[in-house]
């Protein structure tokens, strides 16, 4: 492989070439500079065709490099990168993960169990997942991996798993793959080591791509890889860039790193096999996740999400830092399944996840209605319960009260190792403030609480709270004063607010003290909800309160009240702008109205009422109060005689449900378009109306003047200045100096910008292609996407755009099979793959499929096959087909080899262009290469168009000339009627047509042929029969298998397997069995030629009448001759004499021959001599003749010249 050292070019040092070069050097000209000028012919157009070709080719190459530009949708704070460590067993996967974690976080993790998330750098987090040697896990992880560390045991070489995994990756979008060679210390010989390395590297390159990174881990030191090597590997990982993959950027997914069973333990006690409600936690990746969407959990099935909520990041990136490296506190590690997670954030509880705490917490979950139990219960129980419960308001508040009283200990839940104390007292503090301001009743309690909370804070501060927390706290503090001020002012200034509040309070006051504060918070909430509307800055509490959102918020609010966790933070941040808004509003009003308080109040009331009428909160109108209006219809049913209910069409209320379905929006008749002022209200909507400042033609002209006003006349050297600028300056002079400067600056900037725009438009237009325009458009869109909801509070933002990737979410899924919980094994990845619209449905899929070259058996139609398509793994029954030239889909019995074929399955609807792979079994390893086929989805169609060839056979039973009556092909007249006019054929190739059915026998028909049939002919009709695809869709539920048997899932067996397993053998067809060959001897009759014919035949052909010769009679037989001894002697002598004579003869002839040869030679010689002589003579004569001729010529020429 190594390149041979090639001989270098030797420059000439002497000779003409060297001289030429030297001369050139001396002259100092660069010959390349004007090669075109110097040698124009070399650059002239030789062939127009070739030139066109080269041009096309360059353009082709150029355009091939273009990718369709996509809108950049990568999140600002991306989720951790999923690093899958893959390899056959005993290759060092766990060791590598352990080493890497140690490298990044300086912590040791004993058991790698489930995903491990760490902060690896300022902007990057990693989630390590170990892939066990199970094809299910391999498939699932290939779908979510961003980076695959492929471990290869160098002492052994590649194993099949590696190639299988690479093939899986290829199908599902190729993540980055980095090979890691381990066990290199087993090589004693250095040469074999380097050879092996090279061999493995090149093999790896052919599989991945040329130059793919392969990393070497040379050896172990105390059971760990060498620090320096691990560090280098870590560096590679931290700087790696990733490509967006189509499937992943269009589907949300979560790699769950924590699972929690929320089922009521009472239900489990009653029925241990009841369906479970489970909440799964993890970082959201891919794209936006909508609440209540459908997800697929590979290995379990499809489920609809009951609830999604986002939690504070358990493993956050460090705050913005200037210094280069992370400090120890920022190197976080989060692996709840491995029992290392520091603090765990539930939706509304914060607690430490102890290594053994998982099970115990689940056990402690109890139904919420039992109030007494909740009173007795410890804090942890309560929290867990809160997580599990949907409770009525009063009950909740009661529990809140209890919690507040007895629970100051949450602050102590602080993990030394993770350094992540996020307990926040700030919000509760602020709540109390509110209480104080609005009513004095709840003061005592809140004061107490405040003290407690403050204590907590102090504690935390002493212990060293993270920077993040501090930041939040400071933010809260800065926000606090204006809140107080505002709250003081409101009741005085805006009676509308106060009134409504009071009413609410009075009605509620009797119930409990705590209720009040709750109510206050509700009001707060309302304000918050309306904050999105700029139109309604000064609005009070809205009457319509029953929306779902509000309910949720209430719940959350009460929860936050209880234990003030992370959700509070977001809420806080949302409050600030709003309160400030109100504040500023107030201030404005004050300025406007002076000190007349009464007047102010009245005006405020009026304004408020007007607002209420004119601008109802549209968001609430649309999304909020729907349920309320549609529901209350059942009350006005009156009973008739206590038995029947009067059922009458309803007028007012039911109108909504059964109203006319019409998109017209009839105008209210408030506008009288005959009046001038009404007309003038839309005057500016027309081109004839007034234009905006920046679009008005006059202004534009003026600006142009400014832009192009100054110019210098080159001929005269005169400088023309724009007049407008001066004028402006003159006008603005009396104004404030500072302001003037600002204006001028802006103006200049604006002018510059416009000038540049003009310039760009003028000069860049030539280069701007469609591609560039598209790219720019995409960039603009990306910018808009990023900015649109940037300043919206997360709580509301998730409602608009869904949960964004990068968030840490908690997904609650009801009705999971109990096996999921009971057989839970954290070593197997749990993935929540979001499904797009209509991807949850099942239908027919047409796909292009190719059997994998390495799979050693072809696949059979109707044999069950396990496909991995989209997020799913499922078993289905494919039908293979091939498309004929006329577009017909003809069924195939087996997949062709080395060729694509079509396949139709009954399976989940998946967008076209999605790749899939097929395996025959997921349980155990039966094939040498398990991936049976790969392919892509082409089409989704609910109708199947695969057909199968069908030959109908009939026999003629009556034959007239070209017409025959045929029976046995059909059974009824009706069937025949359907095939009238169809073309038929005999085996011998006579074509015909079905004409008409006969009455008897049923199914017989009359047919005409192009020739007369024989009774022995067989007639057949070629037709196509649609094949139906079996509707089998059987998701592989490998995660539900008992622990330790998860790789043994077996679905439907193929017929062959079934027969093999049951020991059934096919009865062979008797006709295909071999039997001993028995040949009968044939007898041929003698040929008989009639006498007459015999007579006519020529003699030659006449049958010879002669009898065969019999035995010669004894008297005719001649005896053999036996010589006497004397005779023998004579004969011998004669023989000897004759041979002597022959020898002599021969000898004499040879002599004669030689003599003759000699003679011939002689003669030739003489001849040659003679020829020579003759030649000489001839030469002489010719010469003499020539001279004579010349003389003659000369003399004649002379004569002629004389004549002239």
Partner 1 sequence: ILSQGTFEGCNCFRQRLVLSTLSGKRVKIRNIRSKDDNPGLRDFEASFIRLLDKVTNGTRIEINQTGTVLFYQPGLLYGGSVEHECNVQRSIGYYLEALLMLAPFMKTPLRAVLKGVTNDPTDPSVSVCPFISLSSKRRVLKRGMAPAGGGEVLFTCPVRRSMKPVHLTEPGKIKRIRGTAFSVRVSPQMANRIVDSARSILNKFIPDIYIYTDHMKGASSGKSPGFGLTLVAETVNGTFLGAEVVSTPQGQGDPVLPEDLGRNCAKLLLEEVYRGGCVDSTNQSLSLLYMTLGQQDVSKTLLGPLSPYTVEFLRHIRDFFQIMFKIEQQKPGEDEQKGGEKVLMTCVGAGYSNINKTIK
* Cβ nearer to partner 1, comparing 615 with 1154: 615
- Candidate residues 587, 597, 682, 950; the one interacting with partner 1 per rule CB under 8 A: 682
Residues numbered 591-630 forming contacts with partner 1, rule: CB under 8 A: 615, 618-619, 621-623, 626-627, 630
Minimum Å gap between C-beta 650 and partner 1 is 6
As to burial, measured by CB atoms within 10 angstroms (0-12 exposed, 13-18 middle, 19+ buried), residue 962 is middle
Residues numbered 140-179 forming contacts with partner 1, rule: CB under 8 A: none
Minimum Å gap between C-beta 497 and partner 1 is 21
Instruction: Rule CB under 8 A: say whether 814 interacts with partner 1.
Output: no
* Cβ nearer to partner 1, comparing 160 with 626: 626
815: number of Cβ within 10 Å:
12
Minimum Å gap between C-beta 568 and partner 1 is 24
Q: Beta strands of 892-1047 (E only): which ranges?
A: 900-908, 915-919, 931-940, 946-959, 963-967, 983-986, 991-997, 1005-1009, 1019-1026, 1033-1035
Rg of the chain over Cα atoms, rounded to whole angstroms, equals: 51
Instruction: Rule CB under 8 A: say whether 886 interacts with partner 1.
Output: no
Cα separation of 936 and 902, whole Å? 10
Residues numbered 926-945 forming contacts with partner 1, rule: CB under 8 A: 938-943
Residues numbered 235-274 forming contacts with partner 1, rule: CB under 8 A: 250
Instruction: Rule CB under 8 A: say whether 799 interacts with partner 1.
Output: yes
Q: Are strands 808-816 and 946-959 parallel, antiparallel or unpaired?
A: unpaired
Cα separation of 41 and 1021, whole Å? 72
* Cβ nearer to partner 1, comparing 407 with 785: 785
Residues numbered 840-879 forming contacts with partner 1, rule: CB under 8 A: 840-841, 843
HEC profile for 423-453?
CCCHHHHHHHHHHHHHCCCCHHHHHHHHHHH
Stretch that binds partner 1, among 94-102, 313-321, 907-915, 1161-1169 (CB under 8 A): 907-915
Minimum Å gap between C-beta 774 and partner 1 is 11
Minimum Å gap between C-beta 556 and partner 1 is 18
Instruction: Rule CB under 8 A: say whether 763 interacts with partner 1.
Output: no
Taking phi over 0 as left and psi of -120 to 50 as alpha, with beta for the rest, 127 belongs to beta
Instruction: Rule CB under 8 A: say whether 774 interacts with partner 1.
Output: no
Residues numbered 658-677 forming contacts with partner 1, rule: CB under 8 A: 658-665, 667, 671, 673
Instruction: Rule CB under 8 A: say whether 307 interacts with partner 1.
Output: no
3-state secondary structure of 902: strand
Minimum Å gap between C-beta 662 and partner 1 is 6
- Candidate residues 43, 55, 156, 691; the one interacting with partner 1 per rule CB under 8 A: 691
Q: For residue 319, which of 437, 117, 471, 517 has the smallest C-alpha distance? A: 471
* Residues contacting residue 1030 through CB under 8 Å, at least 6 positions apart: 862, 877, 906
Minimum Å gap between C-beta 74 and partner 1 is 12
Minimum Å gap between C-beta 441 and partner 1 is 35
* Cβ nearer to partner 1, comparing 345 with 871: 871
Provide the β-strand partners of residue 441: none
Instruction: Rule CB under 8 A: say whether 785 interacts with partner 1.
Output: yes
Contact mark string toward partner 1, 1163..1202, x via CB under 8 A: ----------------------------------------
- Integer CA distances (angstroms), 842 to 472, 627, 1188, in order: 49, 32, 119
* Cβ nearer to partner 1, comparing 798 with 891: 798
CA geometry: angle 110, 113, 117, nearest 5 deg: 90
- Candidate residues 272, 649, 1068, 1090; the one interacting with partner 1 per rule CB under 8 A: 649
Taking phi over 0 as left and psi of -120 to 50 as alpha, with beta for the rest, 736 belongs to beta
* Cβ nearer to partner 1, comparing 615 with 1014: 615
* Cα-based torsion angle of the residue sequence 403, 408, 413, 414 in order, rounded to the nearest 10 degrees: 140
Stretch that binds partner 1, among 12-20, 429-437, 712-720, 837-845 (CB under 8 A): 837-845
Instruction: Rule CB under 8 A: say whether 800 interacts with partner 1.
Output: yes
* Cβ nearer to partner 1, comparing 246 with 743: 246
Residues numbered 721-760 forming contacts with partner 1, rule: CB under 8 A: none
Minimum Å gap between C-beta 688 and partner 1 is 6
Instruction: Rule CB under 8 A: say whether 1101 interacts with partner 1.
Output: no
- For residue 281, give both structure tokens: 């936690």
Cα separation of 349 and 422, whole Å? 11
- Candidate residues 187, 216, 288, 871; the one interacting with partner 1 per rule CB under 8 A: 288
498: number of Cβ within 10 Å:
16
- Integer CA distances (angstroms), 177 to 81, 167, 718, in order: 13, 12, 69
- Candidate residues 94, 155, 291, 963; the one interacting with partner 1 per rule CB under 8 A: 291
- Candidate residues 194, 227, 680, 699; the one interacting with partner 1 per rule CB under 8 A: 680
Where helices occur in 172-216 by DSSP H, the ranges are: 190-207
Residues numbered 64-93 forming contacts with partner 1, rule: CB under 8 A: 71, 73
- Candidate residues 78, 367, 836, 1030; the one interacting with partner 1 per rule CB under 8 A: 836
Stretch that binds partner 1, among 472-480, 551-559, 652-660, 812-820 (CB under 8 A): 652-660
* Cβ nearer to partner 1, comparing 306 with 947: 306
- Candidate residues 781, 1101, 1139, 1162; the one interacting with partner 1 per rule CB under 8 A: 781
Residues numbered 992-1021 forming contacts with partner 1, rule: CB under 8 A: none
Number of residues that bind partner 1 (CB under 8 A): 80
Judge contact between 809 and 254, C-beta under 8 A.
yes
* Cβ nearer to partner 1, comparing 923 with 935: 935
Judge contact between 686 and 667, C-beta under 8 A.
no
* Cβ nearer to partner 1, comparing 657 with 1058: 657
- What one-character DSSP code corresponds to residue 132? P
Q: Tokens 């039911």 identify what position?
A: 654
Minimum Å gap between C-beta 680 and partner 1 is 6
* Residues contacting residue 829 through CB under 8 Å, at least 6 positions apart: 115, 129, 131, 137, 140, 141, 144, 255, 256
- Candidate residues 191, 595, 690, 898; the one interacting with partner 1 per rule CB under 8 A: 690
* Cβ nearer to partner 1, comparing 644 with 673: 673
Provide the β-strand partners of residue 865: 876
- Candidate residues 52, 784, 1050, 1137; the one interacting with partner 1 per rule CB under 8 A: 784
Judge contact between 705 and 724, C-beta under 8 A.
yes
- Candidate residues 788, 884, 1127, 1167; the one interacting with partner 1 per rule CB under 8 A: 788
* Cβ nearer to partner 1, comparing 504 with 842: 842
Q: Tokens 């489930």 identify what position?
A: 114
Instruction: Rule CB under 8 A: say whether 1119 interacts with partner 1.
Output: no
- Candidate residues 532, 725, 814, 968; the one interacting with partner 1 per rule CB under 8 A: 532
As to burial, measured by CB atoms within 10 angstroms (0-12 exposed, 13-18 middle, 19+ buried), residue 826 is buried
- Candidate residues 657, 950, 1137, 1193; the one interacting with partner 1 per rule CB under 8 A: 657
CA geometry: angle 802, 808, 809, nearest 5 deg: 60
* Cβ nearer to partner 1, comparing 292 with 1065: 292
Minimum Å gap between C-beta 399 and partner 1 is 24
Cα separation of 694 and 871, whole Å? 52
Cα separation of 862 and 893, whole Å? 9
Cα separation of 831 and 295, whole Å? 9
Cα separation of 871 and 247, whole Å? 9
């Amino acid at each position: 492989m190594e390149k041979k050292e090639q001989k270098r070019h030797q420059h000439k040092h002497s000779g003409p070439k060297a001289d030429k070069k030297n001369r050139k050097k001396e002259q100092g000209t660069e010959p390349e500079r004007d090669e075109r000028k110097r040698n124009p012919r070399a650059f002239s157009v030789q062939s127009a065709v070739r030139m066109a070709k080269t041009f096309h080719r360059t353009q082709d190459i150029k355009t091939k490099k273009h990718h369709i530009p996509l809108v950049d949708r990568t999140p600002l704070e991306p989720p951790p990168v999923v690093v899958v460590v893959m390899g056959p067993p005993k290759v060092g996967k766990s060791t590598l993960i352990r080493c890497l974690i140690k490298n990044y976080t300086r912590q040791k993790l004993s058991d790698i169990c489930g995903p491990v998330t760490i902060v690896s750098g300022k902007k990057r987090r990693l989630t390590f997942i170990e892939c066990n040697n199970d094809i299910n896990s391999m498939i699932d992880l290939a779908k979510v991996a961003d980076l695959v560390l492929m471990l290869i045991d160098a002492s052994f070489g590649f194993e099949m798993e590696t190639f299988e995994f690479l093939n899986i990756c290829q199908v599902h979008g190729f993540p980055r793959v980095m090979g890691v060679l381990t066990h290199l210390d087993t090589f004693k010989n250095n040469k074999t080591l380097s050879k092996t390395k090279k061999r493995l590297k090149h093999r790896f390159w052919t599989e991945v791509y040329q130059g793919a990174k392969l990393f070497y881990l040379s050896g172990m030191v105390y059971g760990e890889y060498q620090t320096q090597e691990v560090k280098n590997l870590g560096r590679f990982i931290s700087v790696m860039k990733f490509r967006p993959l189509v499937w992943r950027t269009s589907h949300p997914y979560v790699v769950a790193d924590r699972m929690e069973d929320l089922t009521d333990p009472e239900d489990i006690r009653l029925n241990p096999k009841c369906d479970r409600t489970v909440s799964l936690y993890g970082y959201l990746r891919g794209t936006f996740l909508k609440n209540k969407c459908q997800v697929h959990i590979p290995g379990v099935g499809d489920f609809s999400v009951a609830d999604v909520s986002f939690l504070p990041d358990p493993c956050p990136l460090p705050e913005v830092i200037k210094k280069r490296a992370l400090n120890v506190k920022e190197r976080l590690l989060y692996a709840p399944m491995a029992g290392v997670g520091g603090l765990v954030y539930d939706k509304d509880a914060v607690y430490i996840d102890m290594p053994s705490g998982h099970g115990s917490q689940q056990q402690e979950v109890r139904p919420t209605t039992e109030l007494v139990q909740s009173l007795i219960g410890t804090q942890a129980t309560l929290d867990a319960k809160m997580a599990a419960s949907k409770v009525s308001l009063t009950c909740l508040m009661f529990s809140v009260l209890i919690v507040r009283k007895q629970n100051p200990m949450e602050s102590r839940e602080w993990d030394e190792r993770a350094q992540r104390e996020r307990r926040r007292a700030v919000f509760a503090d602020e709540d109390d403030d509110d209480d104080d301001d609005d009513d004095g009743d709840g003061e005592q309690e809140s004061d107490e609480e405040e003290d407690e909370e403050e204590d907590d804070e102090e504690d935390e501060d002493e212990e060293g709270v993270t920077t993040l927390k501090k930041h939040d706290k400071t933010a809260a503090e800065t926000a606090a004063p204006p809140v107080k001020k505002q709250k003081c002012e409101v009741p005085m200034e805006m009676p509308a607010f106060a009134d409504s509040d009071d009413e609410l309070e009075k009605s509620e006051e009797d119930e409990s003290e705590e209720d009040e504060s709750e109510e206050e918070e509700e009001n707060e909430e309302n304000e918050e909800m309306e904050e999105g509307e700029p139109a309604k800055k000064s609005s009070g509490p809205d009457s319509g309160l029953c929306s779902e959102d509000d309910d949720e918020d209430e719940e959350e609010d009460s929860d936050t009240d209880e234990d003030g966790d992370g959700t509070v933070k977001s809420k806080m941040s949302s409050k600030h702008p709003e309160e400030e808004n109100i504040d500023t509003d107030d201030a404005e009003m004050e300025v406007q109205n002076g000190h007349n308080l009464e007047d102010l109040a009245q005006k405020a009331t009026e304004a408020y009422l007007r607002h209420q009428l004119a601008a109802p909160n549209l968001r609430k109108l649309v999304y909020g109060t729907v349920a309320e209006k549609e529901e209350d219809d059942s009350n006005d049913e009156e009973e008739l005689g206590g038995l029947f209910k009067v059922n009458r069409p309803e007028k007012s209320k039911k109108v909504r449900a059964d109203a006319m379905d019409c998109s017209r929006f009839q105008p209210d008749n408030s506008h009288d378009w005959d009046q001038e002022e009404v007309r003038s209200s839309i005057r500016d909507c027309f081109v004839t109306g007034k234009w905006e400042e920046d679009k008005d033609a006059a202004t534009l002209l003026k600006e142009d003047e400014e832009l192009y006003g100054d110019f210098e006349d080159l001929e005269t050297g005169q400088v023309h200045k724009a007049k407008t600028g001066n004028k402006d300056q003159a006008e603005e002079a009396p104004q404030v100096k500072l302001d003037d400067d600002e204006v001028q600056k802006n103006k200049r900037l604006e002018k510059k910008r416009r000038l540049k725009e003009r310039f760009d438009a003028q000069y860049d237009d030539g280069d701007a292609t469609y591609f560039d325009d598209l790219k720019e458009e995409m960039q603009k869109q990306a910018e808009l996407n990023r900015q649109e909801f940037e300043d919206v509070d997360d709580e509301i933002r998730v409602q608009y755009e869904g949960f964004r990737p990068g968030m840490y979410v908690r997904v609650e899924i009801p009705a999971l099979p109990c096996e999921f919980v009971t057989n839970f094994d954290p070593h197997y990845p749990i993935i929540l793959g979001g499904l797009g619209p209509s991807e949850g449905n099942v239908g027919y899929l047409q796909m292009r499929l190719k059997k994998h070259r390495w799979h050693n058996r072809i696949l059979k139609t109707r044999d069950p096959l396990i496909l991995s398509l989209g997020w799913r793994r499922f078993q289905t029954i494919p039908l293979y087909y091939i498309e004929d030239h006329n577009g017909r889909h003809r069924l195939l019995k087996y997949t062709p080899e080395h060729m694509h074929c079509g396949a139709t399955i009954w399976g989940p609807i998946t967008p076209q262009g999605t790749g899939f792979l097929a395996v025959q079994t997921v349980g155990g390893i039966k094939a040498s290469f398990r991936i049976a086929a790969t392919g892509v989805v082409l089409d989704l169609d609910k109708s199947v168009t695969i057909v199968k060839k069908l030959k109908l056979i009939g026999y003629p039973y009556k034959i007239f000339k070209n017409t025959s009556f045929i029976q046995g092909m059909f059974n009824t007249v009706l069937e025949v009627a359907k095939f009238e006019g169809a073309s038929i054929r005999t085996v011998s190739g006579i074509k015909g047509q079905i004409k008409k059915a006969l009455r008897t026998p049923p199914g017989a028909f009359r047919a005409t042929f192009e020739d007369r049939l024989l009774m022995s002919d067989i007639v057949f009709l070629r037709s196509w029969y649609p094949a139906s695809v079996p509707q089998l869709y059987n998701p592989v539920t490998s995660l539900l298998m008992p622990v330790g048997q998860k790789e043994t899932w077996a679905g439907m067996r193929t017929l062959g397997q079934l027969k093999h397993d049951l020991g059934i053998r096919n009865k062979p067809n008797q006709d295909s069995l071999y039997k001993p060959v028995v040949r009968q001897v044939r007898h041929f009759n003698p040929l008989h030629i009639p006498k007459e014919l015999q007579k006519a035949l020529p003699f030659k052909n006449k049958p010879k009448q002669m009898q065969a010769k019999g035995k010669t009679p004894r008297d005719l037989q001649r005896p053999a001759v036996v010589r006497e001894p004397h005779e023998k002697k004579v004969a011998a002598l004669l023989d000897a004499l004759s041979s002597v004579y022959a020898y002599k003869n021969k000898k004499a002839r040879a002599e004669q021959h030689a003599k003759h040869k000699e003679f011939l030679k002689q003669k030739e010689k003489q001849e040659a001599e003679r020829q020579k002589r003759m030649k000489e003579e001839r030469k002489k004569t010719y010469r003499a003749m020539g001279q004579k001729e010349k003389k003659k010529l000369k003399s004649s020429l002379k004569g002629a010249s004389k004549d002239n």
